[in-house]
Amino acid sequence: MQIRIKGKETLLVTEENTALAMGSGTLPVFATPAMAALMEHTAYTSLEPYLEEGQGTVGTLLDIRHTAPTTVGMTVTCETTLVEIDRKRLVFQVTAYDSKGMIGEGVHERFLIDNQKFLSKAEEKLQ
């Protein structure tokens, strides 16, 4: 794995991913939580071809700004670029656009994990 891995995903804004539907606001516009989820999803899926068997990533930081509204029926595109690797820590630049321009940007951090060890640690909390 090396820096400059890129991801790109597109999402249609529907009633289900508006601020009104998600409870993050009162208007029928693309919700900030939906933008955040799209950014995380785009980053982690960009890494999948580079992961070893049993390896995964988890999000640990999301520092974003949602700078413009997008209405139902419009399309949002997210682009991610891996800009830093520090052992197991992976840092992405994330940006979201609609047909009129940028709607959000920021930084997203993920960590490489062993899936089974991570799940075992999480399940220990139940005991």
Annotated active-site positions, please? 32, 40, 66
With H, G, I as helix, E, B as strand and everything else as coil, classify residue 86. strand
CA dihedral defined by 33, 93, 91, 23, rounded to 10 degrees? 0
